[in-house]
Structure 1
């Protein structure tokens, strides 16, 4: 006797209190959750933009607002696969110099650039919230999301304290 569940939607599965995202029999996946879990990391102060592309450091999982968020090596971990996903990085940069300085940001998923260089001008002795966003992205379970920065000088703008503005987020609208 063959049993088919192809017409039954199973929105959620769990093992005890642990929510499952996929079920496999051997190497064959028989079910996958279509529920996407949004995640966010707050970005701490102190990262200085330099003349080379460098990963922004100081990420901590925002588990209070986005349960299930985790960070490893300053990379936001995506817990569930999804398509049509939006990745957003928002950072308040401060320029203590007497001249205007540019800062550029970009986004990566699993080491691949998904939002290329976006440049912002930070005025002399000023700060500015800079936002980069990659829309309609595809992520897998365990994808690692990073934000990187650079500028035209040896040292440039620095990230300043602003909990509301400094974050890296993966959502699905």
Structure 2
């Protein structure tokens, strides 16, 4: 039976910044997991350490290099136990890259949709203009169309001023 990898942070479709915090549990060869981050056009690789002496938890951070030429805001984060075996287990999750959603991205805040709201109205209220693109991009996992928001839905509002 192959050891498994469980990514607990980030979760699928979390919005991440240039520094991505990763955590979870895994059994890894020599205590190392390879980390691959790609958006389909560019990729970078690094690694994180897994605890030793039976401790299978890991946590670390991966910093997206400035020279990475990502052009799409949806990234794929893969953790793999391939340091001793190229056929080792791996897990891939999609994450959203905040710096490509909103220039100067520093975090996000939740907003609960109210009666009469539109993405344009929310953008005007949050940003002072009608460009709802960052809000739609940050919520692409729950919004099929910018015209289909529902009262009570909690949206992530990307911010550059947090």
TM-score normalised to structure 1 length: 0.35
Q: Which has the larger radius of gyration?
A: 1
Please identify which structure carries the higher strand content. Answer: 1
Please identify which structure carries the higher helix content. Answer: 2
